[in-house]
Structures are given as C-alpha cells and as structure tokens.
Amino acid sequence: MADSIEGRYSYYQLKETADYLKENINCMVPKVAIICGSGLGPLAEGIENPIEITYDRIPCFPKSTVIGHSGSLVFGCLSGVPVVVMKGRFHFYEGYPVWKVTMPCRIFKLLGCSFLIVTNAAGGVNQRFKVGDIMMIKDHVFLLGLSGNNPLRGPNEDMFGRRVPSMTNCYDMDLRKHARKVVKQLGLEKKFHEGVYASVGGPNYESVAEMRMLSTVGIDAVGMSTVPEVLVARHCDLAVFAFSLITNEGILDYNSTKKPGHLEVLKAAKAMEGPLQDFVKEMVKFMGCKKPCNCGCC
Ligand SMILES: O=P(O)(O)O[C@@H]1C[C@H](O)[C@@H](CO)O1
C-alpha cells in the first residue's frame, strides 16, 4: 500500500531550507551533489575548504539513524568543482515516507546543482560479482514504486517537473560512457560491471527465494535505496550517475548458512574507500567541464 503524502513539503518550504543553506555557504553554487551509501561517507574526504552542516541544524531535514550514515551535508570543492556531499542518506525502512527520503534531491536542485551522483552498498545478485566490485547502474527495478509507493505520488509540483516523467536515459549515457574511460584509466576493469539495480524496502536482507526471483528477472544487484532519489532527481532534470559497491554475495542456495550483515557491508565499503574516491573525483571533474544542463537543446 502507498504511504501517506500528508505533510509533504511544498516548493516554498523547500525553498526556505535551500535559502538557509545558501546563507551558510557564502552563496556558493554547487554543481554536483553526491549521495553517500552505507559506509561510503569518506567519499567526502578530499573536499577543499569544506563547510559541514549537520542535519539537525537544517530546517525540515530528517535525521540519519543508520550506522555508517553520519548525518551532514559537506559543501566545498572536489577536483576543482563546487559540490555538496550528503554524508548519510534516509531510507524508507527507517520509517520515513518516500517523499521525505528524497527531499534532499529537490534541495540540491534549488541550490543550483545540475548533476547527482548516487552511491549505495548492495548485494550481488549476479553470481559473477564479487565483494568489492563496482556496478555502474544502467537501469533499475523499483519494487516499492511498482506497487504504488512512489516519491512523486500526490499533486505534482510543477515548479520541479512534469506530472509523468520519462525514465529513458535515466542513468545518463554520456556519463556512463565517460565512466568506462575512467575505469580503464584507474585500472579498475576487473572490478567493474554494468547492471540493473533493484530497490527493495528493507530492512531485512532478502530470502533465498527472493534472491532467486530477482536473479530470474535479470537483476544484478539489490539494495534498499537509490531509486527513490533517482526518480525525484530525474523529475527535476538533474543528470544522474549511480553505482553500487557490491558488499556481500546474494545467497541463492537453500543449503547455505552464510548470513549477510551490516558490519560486513561497512567493512567491504571501507576496503574500497581509496579507489572509490578516485573514481568519484574523476567523474566530478568531467561533470565540471560539461554544460550545466542535459536537455539537449543548449
Ligand atoms: O544506503 P545504502 O543503500 O548504501 O545502504 C545499504 C542498504 C541498507 O541500509 C544497508 C544494509 O546493510 O546498506
């Protein structure tokens, strides 16, 4: 069943939040927003002249409640490009409605961002994937959304985008093309894949039967986030680049006694900190050189 849209923030409420942030970042205009997945907060390291604002100081912002999601926005420059990094995302399973989980994406738009990089920790459904591999997302299946629980449900906010947005080129082709080059440049080819991410509600990991179902329909990785944020970002025309870090094997064998756990997820993220930082820095550098709009007509 779809969750309530009661209390959903209006364009004007979100604008007040964005204005508060602008006042606290010396009116810097970030071009790229980066959402850090579980244990991937260190992606914010290397930001020059950082200004960190914790969520409890930001009007209308929810709180981070998951270990490995520290709960602050960091503004500054990465690869010479103005960015905002979200250290700690919100998940549906924390009890937030999907519109609240995704509200930071609208704030990023109001702050002037043109690009969104979304990262996550995910289970490898594709049995070729190993822990520590990177899967660039080429498409998604949004299981909550298919049953009606969509962050864009409710009266459309015309100030942000169209009532019925298209999902074609959702994960920007040009950015994906560049990522393949970056992967070669960094020597990450053996760890790199492209695939389809399924977003589930969580908080439990999948049963063997669920994993098998996901595998049968062509899913490569499964996680508990990302797609809601991507939908809201595409609605307001942010160009999206997303990847999963494979932090645990998906278990498809009924006789297996292996159990995925959040500490294992955080450990896998820690082990890949350096290469992922380099990967993100290169992608940001490329975004910094691109025109601020992907509408194709400017
Ligand atoms: O925020 P992400 O999607 O990276 O977090 C994943 C999903 C759960 O929150 C957690 C499971 O260990 O990691």
Which of 64-73, 112-121, 198-207 is least confident? Answer: 64-73
Spatial CA neighbour of 60 closest among 97, 23, 8 = 8
Inform me whether the pLDDT recorded for 1 exceeds 80: no
* Residue partners of 181: CB distance under 8 A and separation at least 6: none
Mean pLDDT value across residues 259-276: 96
How many angstroms does the Cα of residue 228 sit away from the middle of ligand 1?
14
* Residue partners of 277: CB distance under 8 A and separation at least 6: 42, 43, 45, 46
Between CA 60 and CA 68, with CA 64 as vertex, the angle to 5 degrees is: 155
Q: Is 89 annotated to bind ligand? A: yes
CA distance 205 to 184: 33
* pLDDT at residue 298 in the model: 33
Of the residues 20, 93, 156, 273, only one is catalytic, namely 93
How many angstroms does the Cα of residue 77 sit away from the middle of ligand 1?
26
Tell me the best of 70, 94, 120, 204 to mutate to test the pocket of ligand 1, counting ligand atoms within 8 Å of each CB and taking the most.
120
Q: What is the pTM of this model?
A: 0.96
**What is the interface pTM, i.e. ipTM, of the complex?**
0.98
CB distance 262 to ligand 1 below 6 Å: yes
Which residues on adjacent β-strands are paired with residue 192? 134
Mean pLDDT value across residues 278-298: 78
Which of 85-89, 99-103, 291-295 is least confident? Answer: 291-295
Inform me whether the pLDDT recorded for 23 exceeds 60: yes
CA distance 135 to 197: 9
103 CB burial (10 A radius; 0-12, 13-18, 19+): buried
Percent of the chain with pLDDT over 70: 97
Inform me whether the pLDDT recorded for 295 exceeds 60: no
Q: Is 178 annotated to bind ligand? A: no
The tens digit of pLDDT for each residue in 127-166 reads 999 999 999 999 999 999 998 999 999 999 999 999 999 9
Burial letters 203-226, b for 16+ CB under 10 A, else e: eebbeeebbbebbeeebbbbbbbb
SS3 290: coil
Of the residues 114, 126, 149, 248, only one is catalytic, namely 248
Q: Is 140 annotated to bind ligand? A: no
Q: What sign does the dihedral 65-69-70-76 (CA atoms) show?
A: negative
CB distance 37 to ligand 1 below 6 Å: yes
